[in-house]
A and B are shown apart, each in its own frame.
Chain A
Amino acid sequence: MSYSTFNKNQINPLNEPMFFGNSVNVARYDQQKHSIFEKLIEKQISFFWRPEEVDVSRDRVDFQGLTDSEKHIFISNLKYQTLLDSVQGRSPNIALLPIVSIPELETWIETWSFFETIHSRSYTHILRNLFTDPSDVFEDIVINKEIQKRAEDISRYYDDLIFFTQLWQTHGEGDIEVHGEVHHVSMRELKKKLFLCINSVNALEAIRFYVSFACTFAFAERDLMEGNSKIIRLIARDENLHLVSTQNILNLWQYGKDDPEMKEIAEELRDEALAIFMKAVEQEKEWAHYLFRHGSMIGLNEEILCQYVEYIANMRMEAIGFDAPFKQRSNPLPWMNKYLVSDNVQVAPQEAEISSYLVGQIDSAVSASDLGDFEL
């Protein structure tokens, strides 16, 4: 079934499933099949920020004063985060837009991916400030074995879905031979690949950032690398919304509130979905091991970081219908929470410069009636 950028058939998007229905034609948001995605778009746009708004110039001096093992921790985390956002800045678009069939989800995917590109641009902002030429850091991302291992697991479910979608779009269902290899393309097979892909993305958004976040905020607890920490706070807030979207997709399927076939697949592939999550947890723990191989940093070590990964993993897994697999029920890094609180609720004084940009916009929207009681 070939893709059309403007489906000429009359379709009612309220009757379409999230994916693999009729492709979207009119981008309308006055009515929604799943209103959560429209709400996420609004929230995400309200979070808009630009890396350049955050002053990172003091980090350069701080960085020079770090020990070699701390520098390794700091730079390795930035490399890993750069990888994650490089993937997320394109893959939801390439893998999911060709198969999405409701407008609010289509636009959410575009909004989501766009914010990932802001994250990517912020890493350049941070690194350009630390190094006159950050090329070595960027170049190592495709060579570094520890990062490669993760890249392979993160991209393969996307790549698999993309390849099968391309076969289906050009040849339809059936056995299709490409370079001597036969692929069995069926709607069921496509939907299974979609299910596994969303589970893999969900695991990425749920836990893959948290080891790096913890290191960043541990530096900030010592008043170090605070510009970087401000940026990571904004990123962490965005990542939470991305996670809400994948959790919603998985739950809508599980509860049979979307495509009934996806409900069957969710049951059929439950063990595989669990394995994807557990592997991501393992990889995060290995990452903590890699970070601290030259020595740890004040306030953090491998063991406590692994406990934190388990603590987060428990919460994330319960949200998609799994039992909490780990014993770690209390937060081993309580100070993390203050960096993860949404700015909207409690703006710490040091955050004033971040918020000022948006605050200015809000101020200018004050109307005369709001000032009714004012005497000049």
Chain B
Amino acid sequence: MSKTFKVRVNGQHELTVDPSDGSLLEAMERAGIETRYHCRDGFCGACRTQVKSGDIDYINEPLAIVRPGDCLACCCVPASDLEIDH
């Protein structure tokens, strides 16, 4: 089993996420959080999520615009403990 990270979502959900277990979006879905998405492939921007603290890694390079302080949840995984707003 690989290393897991704590991810705090919208200031209310505490998730333990294994980065080898799929995207941040999938982790939120497994936790029953209402998510925003369309393409699930990094090119529509619908899953845009604010990263308030911590780092993420992209598993697929996103095409959609990622503004500073944001990430695309469908194609990234946590690279440290995270605090995000989705």
* Chain A interface bracket (under 10, 10 to 19, 20 to 34, 35 or more): 20 to 34
Contact B38 A248 (CB under 8 A): no
Contacting A345 at CB < 8 Å: which of B34, B40, B64?
B40
Are A43's CB and B43's CB within 8 A?
A: yes
- Stretch binding the partner chain, chosen from A78-86, A132-140, A313-321: A313-321
Q: Which of A244, A330, A346 contacts B40 (CB 8 A)?
A: A346
Which residues on B sit within 8 Å (CB–CB) of A243? 44-45
Contact B67 A337 (CB under 8 A): no
Give residues of chain A (2-60) contacting chain B, Cβ–Cβ below 8 Å: 36, 39-40, 43
Residues of B within 8 A of A39 (CB): 63
Known: A36-B63, A39-B63. A340 touches B45 (CB 8 A): no
Give chain B's interface secondary structure class.
loop
The winner among A40, A240, A247 for most chain B CB atoms within 10 A is A240
Residues on the A chain within 8 Å of B39, using CB: 237, 240, 340-342, 345
Contact of B65 with A248 in the complex, beta carbons under 8 Å: yes
What A residues does B18 contact at CB under 8 A?
A: none
Residues of A179-229 whose CB lies within 8 A of B: none
Across the interface, do A240 and B43 meet the contact criterion of CB distance under 8 Å?
Answer: yes
Q: Taking the complex as formed, is B41 at the interface, i.e. its CB lies under 8 A from any CB of chain A?
A: yes
What total of chain B residues lie within 8 Å of the partner, measured CB to CB? 16
Q: Please, which residue of chain A has its CB at the minimum distance from the CB of B50?
A: A318
Please tell me if the beta carbons of A247 and B41 are within 8 angstroms of each other in the complex. Answer: no
Name the prevailing secondary structure of the A interface residues: helix
* A247 lies within 8 A of B45 (CB): yes
Contact of B63 among A40, A318, A341 (CB under 8 A): A40
CB distance from B23 to the nearest CB of A (A): 11
Interface string of A240-256 (1 = CB under 8 A from B): 11011001100100000
A344 interface hit (Cβ, 8 Å) = yes
Shortest beta-carbon distance from A42 to chain B in Å: 10
Partner of A340 from B34, B44, B63, B64 at Cβ < 8 Å:
B44
The answer to whether A331 has its CB under 8 Å from any CB of chain B is: yes
Given contacts A43-B63, A244-B63, A247-B65, contact A345 B41 (CB under 8 A): yes
**Other A-B pairs, 20, CB within 8 Å; known A241-B43, A244-B43, A342-B44:** A36-B63, A240-B39, A240-B44, A243-B44, A243-B45, A244-B65, A315-B36, A319-B64, A319-B67, A331-B34, A331-B36, A337-B37, A340-B39, A341-B38, A341-B40, A342-B39, A342-B40, A342-B41, A345-B40, A345-B41
The list of the 9 closest CB pairs from A to B, nearest first, reads A340-B38, A342-B41, A240-B44, A342-B39, A247-B65, A345-B40, A341-B40, A345-B41, A319-B45
Query: Can you list 11 pairs linking A and B with CB atoms under 8 Å apart?
Result: A39-B63, A240-B38, A241-B43, A243-B44, A244-B44, A248-B65, A315-B45, A319-B67, A342-B41, A342-B43, A344-B41
